[in-house]
Chain A
Amino acid sequence: MKNLLRVAALSTVLLIGGGAALAQETSWPDPGQSIDLYIGYVPGGVSDTFARQVAQTLEKQTGVRVQPINRPGAGTQLAQAAMLIAPKNGYSMSLINLPSLLNYIWTGEAAPFTQANFAPIALLGYSPNGLIVRGDSPYQSLKDLADAARNSATPINAGWNGSSDDAMVIAGLEQAAGTSFNKVVYNGTPEKIQGLASGDVAFFSGAVSGVRSQLETGEFRILAQWGPQRSTLVPDVPTASEQGFDITYDSWIGVSFSAEVPADIRAAATEALRKVSEDPDFIRANESSFIEVRFVPGDEVPAIWTAQEEQVASVAALLKQ
């Protein structure tokens, strides 16, 4: 806390003496302020832990207090809404998860915002996702699973969370295999793990970070990962496209401002988050929880966002048929 005061004093001196140009560059963040980071999840989960790491590292980098605020509800909509109505001065940001933020497209419920309301600061984390089966499962590849599903008299049970991210891959798999699965809906990864471990479902799709304990013991295996190329965290697992299935799906965690935040503040924040992404402690902490630290600056995010919107919309349209 002494550091904080020192930084405050130092930057005051800089502000007074450094002239207008310097003042503009260092005007965000103002050490007298504190940054609110809205998190749309209850404490303790993968995304929440990641957000808290971001908050801690950003605080270390900028010397400004970063306060995580959990406002769970409606698939992070309440947190986004809280961020969007807060003052647009660059001291309110929210955690965004792509594609789960796009769930509103999938449910068809009206969302209180669109992409145009957000000014993403950066994407920081890449969470590798894959198709998880039991260690003793008869399936060794996606092809085994697709063949078995086609030849089985009763549909194979698949665990999913009933929302856009799982729908994208399971619908894609159904289409590619020309069959359909019997979908069992679970709330969250722990329930999916219980379902798979007890044999109630034959597989599920999910974030690798949620099952790392089961993977290490060999209780579970990853049949395929959904990213366009292999993640550095699970380099031995082939991607779906390597196995001849045209299914790709990326899962990102990032931080966003409201679109009304001035451009210079956004640029300064992107720069601050770049430093966060280069922090060795931050990288190590996240790798141990199976999240790859990958920095994507804010101005490149809209392309990813739009592509995912199209993907979710096409799957939603497919499933409605």
Chain B
Amino acid sequence: MVIDRMAALVEGWLTAADAWRRRHPWLNGDIIASTLVLVLSVYFFADSVRLGLSNGQQAAPGTFPALISAGIAICSAIWLIGALLKLRAPDEPDAAPSPAVAQAEDGDNGAGDTVLSESANWRVVFLLAWSALLLPLTETIGMVPMLFVYLLGLFVVIARSAIWKSALVIGVVLLVFAWGAYEGRIYMPDPFRLGRAIHNLLSSLTGGAI
């Protein structure tokens, strides 16, 4: 299947990237995350100071943000230092598990190095890329067609079972949804006026009873 081959390809890239990362112990999740948070908190602290720290006897817009960002900066610095110390003494038994190992434990798979073959990170990559489609499509083709395409894509690539049945179920559910929203005067983007079309169809079928 094309999907399998694509999945294997993406998974291969991800595995390669992970292997590269492991050769550089300082590229540890804790270190990256704490550094990122530290940098951001310093930036936002400066921004808070710009907003003003004091306003006579009352707190200014920047007072609380400055306090909190300073707090985050201190905590993330401690986190970073802790992670760096663990890097120097990797054999310590209570060292923070690396992300890959943590994941292995979640999956009840103790062998740290075989983890990646058990992982399916490509699904996350696919979801991310596929969901990016939502942003431009919702307003242009409408909520219902967009969701149909989106969900069908998910079912074909991720769920992979009973695709025709799911397509039918998704289609029917979404059409009922569109009709319900139209009758209930609930707003959703619908440039093709599907709700109205279903309403007209039903009303001609039932002789105006609906």
Confirm or deny: B185 has a beta carbon within 8 angstroms of a beta carbon on chain A: yes
Q: Mark A31-43, 1 if CB is under 8 A from B, else 0.
A: 0001000000000
Comparing A62-70, A220-228, A283-291, the segment that makes contact with chain B is A62-70
The reply to whether A69 and B208 form a contact with Cβ atoms under 8 Å apart is no
Residue of A nearest to B191 (CB): A87
Q: Mark A59-81, 1 if CB is under 8 A from B, else 0.
A: 00000010111100000000000
A1 to B209, CA, bound (A): 9
Report chain B residues within 8 Å CB of A65. Answer: 196
Report chain B residues within 8 Å CB of A5. Answer: 203, 208
The reply to whether A68 and B196 form a contact with Cβ atoms under 8 Å apart is no
Q: Mostly helix, strand, loop or mixed at chain B's interface? A: loop
Confirm or deny: B199 has a beta carbon within 8 angstroms of a beta carbon on chain A: yes
Interface members, chain A 9-35 (any B CB < 8 Å)? 34
**Are A67 and B187 also in contact (CB < 8 A) when A1-B199, A1-B203, A34-B196 are?**
yes
Report chain B residues within 8 Å CB of A70. Answer: 187
Confirm or deny: A2 has a beta carbon within 8 angstroms of a beta carbon on chain B: yes
Kindly state the interface size class of chain B when it binds its partner. Answer: under 10
A12 to chain B, nearest CB (A): 14
Residue of B nearest to A56 (CB): B185
Interface size of A in residues (CB-CB distance below 8 Å): 9
B132 to chain A, nearest CB (A): 21
Report chain B residues within 8 Å CB of A68. Answer: 185, 187
The reply to whether B187 and A69 form a contact with Cβ atoms under 8 Å apart is yes
Report chain A residues within 8 Å CB of B187. Answer: 67-70
The reply to whether B185 and A67 form a contact with Cβ atoms under 8 Å apart is yes
A5 to B203, CA, bound (A): 10
A308 to chain B, nearest CB (A): 27
Report chain A residues within 8 Å CB of B199. Answer: 1
Report chain A residues within 8 Å CB of B210. Answer: 1
A-B contact pairs, 10 of them (CB 8 A): A1-B199, A1-B203, A2-B203, A2-B208, A5-B208, A34-B193, A34-B196, A65-B196, A68-B187, A69-B187
Nearest first, the 8 A-B pairs at minimum CB distance are: A69-B187, A2-B208, A67-B187, A1-B203, A67-B185, A68-B187, A34-B196, A70-B187
